[in-house]
Amino acid sequence: MRIALALLLFISLPLQAEEIRLSDDLQVYPLTEHTWVHRSWEVIQGHRYPSNGLIIIEDDTLTLIDTAWGDTSTALLLDWMEQRFGKAPDLAILTHSHDDRMGGARTLAERGIPAWAHPATLTIARNDPDTFYDPDIPLPQTIEAFTEQSRIKFANLELYYPGPAHSPDNIIVWYGRDEVLIGGCAVKGGSATAIGYVEGSDANHWPVAMENVLTHYSEASIVVPGHGDIGDASLLTHTRDLARKGLATQ
């Protein structure tokens, strides 16, 4: 009876992550043995929206996936990383051109942290007047080999381009050691009820892109969407279904 009661109490207790609030707009918490989530907020049209990125600690390599949302939060995040891990990131991967992914690019450049992205990310950042792009900001270096369904080994990661979805340049990052897939904004959170097209989204190809991702990463244990709660591979089918629904109602 005592064992059963103890088990019931254990099951009923939520798992508490070590959430660290660095500011009102930035928090970090551990996800797996080798990864931390960084979550930052921005106010858009009067509403606060959170954005997810990842920190990966692999042996001697410290990798940042996407900046925080803006230079202020990115600077605070980098300061914390140096205090926590004893070094700045060795590199950053930026999963597409919007400012919730690379809005801290100026800070990366000022601190000499090399950043890498799909070649189309630079083209969009340079040419789209609706992006945050400032010509005084050194842009990331490009990974030139991307074509649709390219799977590229880069540092301790696999980068995958499923084709256009949320944006023409969205890439997916796979960290196989902990079976973590970073979907960026191409993948929706579980609470999303609509695909949420924005400028640059590809309604026709988004369902195809998700099928492409499912072909390679359907066994992911953890999937990190660009926004919303972290889940498992069911987020990929959820996003595909939302994309199909959105296409059908156009």
Q: What is the pLDDT of residues 199-234, one digit of tens each?
A: 889 999 999 999 999 999 999 999 999 999 999 999
Quote the tokens at residue 120. Answer: 């189309």
Q: Which residues pair with 43 in a beta bridge?
A: 48
Q: What is the pTM of this model?
A: 0.89
pLDDT in tens, 81-119: 999 999 999 999 999 999 899 999 989 999 999 999 999
pLDDT band, very low/low/confident/very high, at 17 (cuts 50, 70, 90): low
Cα dihedral across residues 233, 189, 227, 31: positive or negative: negative
Quote the tokens at residue 114. Answer: 């090399």
Residue 208 burial (CB count, 10 A): 17
Cα dihedral across residues 237, 36, 175, 94: positive or negative: positive
